[in-house]
């Protein structure tokens, strides 16, 4: 059910939410958090669809800020409940005029009481996410550096502004790669890694973060190479005294794992969907200290 509320107020939005549950017979699930989406510059419907996928695992109230491109100083809103909201209830706020500059004021009365707040910027990386009005309210702040024209520069800026609770979906996309590497390294006799070679798409922040993590964790040299004709991470090789450990995914879906003294294994390793990555980040509300260390290591490596 979708309810439109033109030229409304936050008080009227709260009343409409209550009425929607009563009149529509919507069962109110136990909401575990409030997810605030700053959809400035993004496709709000795409962001809502992604959040609805993640909400199947994490029922929540979703508040979407989608500023109107033009108009008088007013607030339009839209409520989505029931089948149009997945396992959540969605409040879309479309402020215009002076309202746009007061996003945190608009959001605050709509937050679930005594529930953690997570903020997500689907259109990219804002300047100092933790210092924004929404960022200061949130226990987790999720950005996505993928697609940025200068990923190295944006990662360096994120490292300078980093506060516990920040994370990047570019980091989330390589979770399985990190797990596979750690498991494979545990099985070799001599685990000293002298060099790590990474290959993938040009300008991938995931490769930069993964290389920084390996350098920080293993103290090894990093050799990265890029190819404009491929998408995503293609291969990783760890050079050890016991032999080379390698993960190669040339088709972008199935990976071959090679280890010293063992036969090769084929592993399903398809690209992760945005909804899957978002759901993973919503599973944890504590600080991702390993990400913070990788980000700091990347900044040090540039000095």
Average pLDDT over residues 225-254: 93
pLDDT of residue 85: 58
41: tokens are: 């510059």
Residues paired with residue 266 on neighbouring β-strands, in sequence order: 256
185: tokens are: 């390294």
pLDDT of residue 2: 87
Q: Are strands 233-240 and 243-248 parallel, antiparallel or unpaired?
A: antiparallel
Give the Å distances, CA to CA, from 159 to 27, 32, 38, 280: 43, 29, 21, 22
pLDDT of residue 137: 95
Average pLDDT over residues 73-96: 83
The single-letter DSSP state of residue 272 is P
For the chain, give the mean pLDDT: 91
Q: Are strands 254-259 and 243-248 parallel, antiparallel or unpaired?
A: antiparallel
Name every residue whose Cβ is closer than 8 Å to that of residue 57 and which is 6 or more positions away in sequence.
279, 282, 283
What would the pLDDT profile of 131-165 be if each residue is shown by its tens digit?
999 999 999 999 999 978 899 999 999 999 999 99
Q: Give the whole-angstrom CA distance, residue 14 versus residue 178.
A: 43
| Residue 272 φ then ψ, to 5° | -85, 140
Give the Å distances, CA to CA, from 157 to 75, 169, 230, 296, 302: 33, 16, 27, 11, 12
Give the Å distances, CA to CA, from 102 to 94, 131, 190, 245, 299: 12, 14, 57, 52, 33
Give the Å distances, CA to CA, from 225 to 149, 174, 203, 207: 17, 17, 10, 9
Average pLDDT over residues 73-82: 88
Predicted confidence band of residue 30 (pLDDT cuts 50, 70, 90) = low
Which residue matches tokens 């008080």? 11
Per-domain residue ranges for the chain? 2-168, 175-268
What would the pLDDT profile of 252-271 be if each residue is shown by its tens digit?
899 999 999 899 999 999 99
| Residue 132 φ then ψ, to 5° | -75, 165
What would the pLDDT profile of 211-221 be if each residue is shown by its tens digit?
999 999 999 99
pTM: 0.92
């Amino acid at each position: 059910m979708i309810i439109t509320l033109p030229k409304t107020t936050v008080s009227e939005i709260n009343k409409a939410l209550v009425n929607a549950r009563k009149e529509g017979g919507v069962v109110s699930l136990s909401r575990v958090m409030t997810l605030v989406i700053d959809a400035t510059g993004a496709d709000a419907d795409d962001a809502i669809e992604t959040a609805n996928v993640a909400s199947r695992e994490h029922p929540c109230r979703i508040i979407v800020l989608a500023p109107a491109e033009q108009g008088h100083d007013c607030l339009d809103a839209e409520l989505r409940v029931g089948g149009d909201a997945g396992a959540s209830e969605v409040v879309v706020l479309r402020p215009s005029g002076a309202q746009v500059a007061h996003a945190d004021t608009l959001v605050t009365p709509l937050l679930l009481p005594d529930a953690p707040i997570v903020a997500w910027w689907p259109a990219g990386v804002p300047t100092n996410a933790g210092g924004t009005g929404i960022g200061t309210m949130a226990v987790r702040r999720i950005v996505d550096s993928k697609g940025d024209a200068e990923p190295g520069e944006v990662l360096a800026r994120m490292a300078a502004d980093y506060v516990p609770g920040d994370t990047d979906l570019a980091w989330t996309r390589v979770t399985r790669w990190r797990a596979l590497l750690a498991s494979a390294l545990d099985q070799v006799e001599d685990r000293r890694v002298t060099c790590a070679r990474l290959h993938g798409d040009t300008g991938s922040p995931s490769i930069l973060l993964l290389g920084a993590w390996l350098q920080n964790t293993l103290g090894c040299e990093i050799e990265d190479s890029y190819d404009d004709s491929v998408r995503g991470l293609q291969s990783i090789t760890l050079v050890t005294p016991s032999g080379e450990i390698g993960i190669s995914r040339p088709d972008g879906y199935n990976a071959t794992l090679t280890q010293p003294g063992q036969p090769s294994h084929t592993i399903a390793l398809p690209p992760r969907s945005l909804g899957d990555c978002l759901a993973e980040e919503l599973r944890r509300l504590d600080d991702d200290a390993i990400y913070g260390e990788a980000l700091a290591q990347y900044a040090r490596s540039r000095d």
